Structure 1
Amino acid sequence: MPYERLAPIALLLGSNLFMTFAWYGHLKYRSAPLLAAVFASWGIAFFEYCLMVPANRIGAAVYSAPQLKGMQEVITLLVFAGFSAWYLGQPLKWNHWAGFALIAVAAWLIFLE
């Protein structure tokens, strides 16, 4: 039982680390050709999918699809917040945190029965 509940969270965390680098990592190298950024992002995204698909397969045993999606969104925001500050040097401002908090509240509502 704990495996089915916790494994999706761990896999989604790893998946979102890859996804965030694939989607936003190239912003640190804006002088690189766009096509190179696209191909590098595709390569990184492969590893995202290698974690995302099992996360959803395993998680579907105990969570609904909307719950998995809500969980994924909150994890994405947390990973992105750290990535933005640490990797891109763009810490979030109060309004970003407020917007993210509203999304977290929406995700929490998805888990109400």
Structure 2
Amino acid sequence: MSGDSETLESLWDYCTSANRLVPMPPQWNELYGMLKNTRQKSSGGWQPPLPLILTAWHHSKPIEKQLRYKEHLELAEVQGQLGEVGAFFRSLPEEQWCHFGESG
């Protein structure tokens, strides 16, 4: 799919096909680095919230991971980055995705 025709729905369909849950932590972190306008809040947290990786990877439920990941994709849509983000995720080999039922 070309970047110009990528929609949130088409990207989400791709990212959740083949039993995909979320990208593996290094790739999810790479997505976060691609997002424009990320910032640390005065409270110490981040906007948007950080990916659920590192310790959070092991202490969060699959649905929590998927909801956080979708939040990042929604932000990419608002910021006009779906083409770039879609191209990145469509280029990932399957082993760079965590799938439902795997240790994720």
Which TM bucket (shorter chain)? 0.3 to 0.5
Instruction: Identify the structure with the greater helix proportion.
Output: 1
Query: TM-score normalized by structure 1?
Result: 0.32
- Specify which structure has the higher proportion of strand: 2
Considering Cα pairs closer than 8 Å and 6+ residues apart, tell me whether 1 or 2 has the greater RCO: 2
Higher-Rg member (1/2): 1
